[in-house]
Structure 1
Amino acid sequence: MKSILTPPEIQFSGTNPRIKWINDKMRPFLAHPILILLCLWGAYILLDGSTTYYFELPTPGFVYAFITTIIGFFSSCLYFFWLFPSVFYAKKPWRIISLSLLGISVLSGLKYLLFLLAGIQTHTLLDFFFYELMRQWVFLVVTFTVWGFYALIKALQAKQRTEASFDRLRIVHNKGQLSPHFTLNLIGDISAKSLHFSPELFEDINHFITILRYAYIDTENFNSLSAEVQAILAYLHGQKLRFENAIYIQDEIDRQLLDYEGLYMPKLLLITLIENVFKHGIFQDPTCPVLIEAKMVYGKSPVPILSFSTQNKINKDLKLSKGKFGLETVRNLLDYFFDSATLTPTVTEDTFSLTLTIPYEESNQTWPNR
């Protein structure tokens, strides 16, 4: 039985009628969030006006209410579209936060100026800004409540899209896994027969089997450092087979890494870094060969540390993507699976270098079970 302190899971899908109803009704507002603020301030005007009329409260007049509503609406826009998103999502939010607060100050000053031009009797300048600060605090809290609901719905929608995409990928992956053992065993039999005719062909087929077996590994299952290194060696063999004598690689991968079957390595992590070398670099220049180094080192403690590095000549004819060779994806994997890992890219005028260190201090909780 679940604890009452545990919040229930939210099923954001078409099979949940309440969530689906909210999603359907909120769709135009989510597409155009400024409509949310318009409804919010429309409700504010209706509530304030009806309360003032019903209780016969004193009021400074229509012009005062109109100016206050307009300035309040634009203040909510600054909070909704600038301040809150920058606080929660921006990597360096201080500039946007400062501009937002400056915008609020300008709006407050404009409000005071409009009151003076309209001949509205108000407080002294100091009292005005004190009461305006209190009013802006109320605007901020109310707008944040609405923005939080909006952000929650958007996050749930993004989660739904991600899960749907993942399910589609899983279906494709399962289709690709149709009888994998039969396929591998069949190719293995062909490989064994080829040994009688050509030892070189036998080696090529075995490397192909290694890549194929690696491709069948589910990303949610345990992938050992040994399997990742095997896949790297098979990948490099395939590149050499493909380009023959037109490829220049300085392979300094320690084969003893093939013995580390108990250490985890996320599938495609190291291979992605190597593949990017061939995708974005020049590997056909004999004066500047591609350098790939991988080894296990030990510091002062007996903790094994994987040291992995690449270096290649930059292909200046290619436009580099903003993601810097997809390093952000690799960083995210490292942050999740290895707390102490470091990934350091270095770009000079002609070369791109990358150094990765992973201390294997202990089995991480995020590692999948074997």
Structure 2
Amino acid sequence: MNKLKQIVLHAIIWIAIVLYFMYNNGRTEYSTIVNFVYFGIVNISLFYINYLFILPTFLNRKKYLWCALSIFFVVMIFSFIKCGLAYYFYDIVIKRGGSKVVIDFWYYYSSAVFVSCFFILLSTVLKFIQDWFLNEKVKSNLENENLIAELAFLKSQINPHFLFNSLNNIYSLAYQKSEKTPEAILKLSEIMRYMLYESNEDKVELSNEIRYLENYIELQKLRFKDNIYIKFEINGDLLGLMITPLVLISFVENAFKHGIATDSENPISISLNLTDGKLLFHVSNIKSSMNKDITGGIGLQNVQRRLSLIYKDRYRLQIDDTNDIYNCELYLNL
């Protein structure tokens, strides 16, 4: 809330309070104006001296003794001011509108101190509440900034990681002098175009993300020539569904890097099932003892961290990693 809005809100609240007590008293004559306007101005002034000057000057700087002493002297001074007003309007305040009952000075002074302390307490509580909300807002903004920075860092790791693996694949094709090398380079350029431009958004269409997976699989097929066995199934309606980009690719990459893609009896299995905006992504493969990744699985660690940051309690990841088989099942509430 900016300062102008805050000032207007405070003014409306104080005017409403004063008017409420004035008219709730059932009278609007001069005595009522004296009691609720003049003394109201004194109490409101006391409120803001504590709220705007004493607390920010001493309490925020942890000068507790000076804060207590300042409040004490301000309460004493304002209570004397109230007594001065009371004797100025002697017949209205001290004699209660001309009645025979006269209020004792020290009794009135102690009452003035009590009321002053109430407004000090009220301003202090408001200050604490405001500071708490402000601190929570700053903390939330800081957490969001840290989250954005971490996600940006995690996402920046995907491109080099993926590019490194893909270039290795194309290198093997070029080393074999394969005629499919140009096609592989074209597929890689399409994939990199998606990663550099389309995936910059927080969410992308699920159909585009699947197309990206298909391009990656086609690139792998070029690498293995005709000796690759993979089953890729999609069930359900993709229309209108959005997903965080580059979340699914790590599991598919892992299947090709650590799995056996040339076993016709045990093909790499990838399935994607959609039901009422909920996605179930499953990848399974037979593990190869020959394919060991010296990087230590950066891709999977990366994607698990991204899932926990973005989807929080809207995802479930189950990985069964045995000596022979690797199964991965990811549930996402899109």
The TM-score bracket by the shorter chain reads 0.3 to 0.5
Normalising by structure 2, report the TM-score. Answer: 0.42
Structure number having the greater helix percentage? 2
Higher-Rg member (1/2): 2
